[in-house]
Copies of this chain bind each other. A is one copy, B any other.
């Protein structure tokens, strides 16, 4: 049994990690930390975990975390970078669910996150944890930067097209719709039921922090060529789910896009390409690590539309983190993650 640490257990991604880990047969939660809630029983805060987690929140301490085989960070951006260097020295494996190690360039971090990166030297060893792209690197990684929720849905959707040079990468559009849990468990007026339900709105059109992360990933797929991406996120009145609708011009109208997508993901346990003409519904992936997608070329024109649906808290956060953990620890990659969606 591997010992697992969780730094920052009071948010939705932390709670989701616990939900998924408690039934994993090869790991055991060893420490769950929270500066603000130390001493409180985890199951008192999250009654859904009564009978499954009997730990209390503790203050994050290197000593306790160093007893773990792997530590998840489900902390706000900027927290992990302060503890990670020391844990790396202790030989601990780390999956960071925040943005701290996602961007290769510390200057880009500073530009988008508003503060200097405190351990830029560690950035080079961090592997971006999108298994469908970087599986081999993840196997050997000590530090994995778990992708953001939007970046997961958008990158997987564009992946087959860009890899094959089939997209007009100068003009990519990602119109993404997210459930409110993406905004976290922190209190803000905009996340209140009375504000967010029965409402649809875009936000951050001028520039969302996931834009550089997505661009970096797409550029890697394009073998370094710069990409022109317009990314517009929307807050959608539901708890879970991201639906990304992706648009680009296809460079070769003869390509069988359906076959391309099916072949690209044939061996991926967590990407499901729907039959031609169908539309993925986010609810079919609720509670699961699956990215369900479809590819369309409306009226046989030059515009290709990719529809990509995930559960933002699972494939977009905690599930993908456990997928990365499984890969890093040599456990079967899909262990404890293959379940049908909660429907209805």
Nearest neighbor of A23 in chain B, beta-carbon distance: B339
Interface residues of A in 261-284 (CB under 8 A from B): 272, 274, 277-284
Question: Which of A49-57, A89-97, A324-332 faces chain B?
Answer: A49-57
A159 close to chain B: CB less than 8 A: no
Q: A191-B194, A198-B240, A243-B234 are in contact. Are A49 and B340 (CB under 8 A)?
A: yes
A309 to chain B, nearest CB (A): 7
A181 to B287, CA, bound (A): 18
Other-chain residue from B15, B232, B340 in contact with A52 (beta carbon distance below 8 A): B340
A192 to B192, CA, bound (A): 4
Enumerate chain B residues within 8 angstroms of A339, measured Cβ to Cβ.
23
A274 to B205, CA, bound (A): 14
Other-chain residue from B18, B50, B239, B299 in contact with A193 (beta carbon distance below 8 A): B239
A258 close to chain B: CB less than 8 A: no
Enumerate chain B residues within 8 angstroms of A185, measured Cβ to Cβ.
189, 192, 194, 344
Count how many chain A residues have C-beta atoms less than 8 Å from C-beta atoms of the other chain.
85
A121 close to chain B: CB less than 8 A: no
A214 to chain B, nearest CB (A): 13
Tell which of A202, A234, A241 has the most Cβ of chain B within 10 Å.
Answer: A202
A210 close to chain B: CB less than 8 A: no
Q: Are B342's CB and A284's CB within 8 A?
A: no
Interface residues of A in 169-212 (CB under 8 A from B): 171, 173, 175, 177, 179-181, 185, 187-189, 191-203, 205-207
A-B contacts, 10 listed (Cβ < 8 Å)? A19-B343, A46-B343, A48-B288, A192-B193, A194-B344, A198-B344, A200-B309, A202-B279, A230-B301, A232-B245
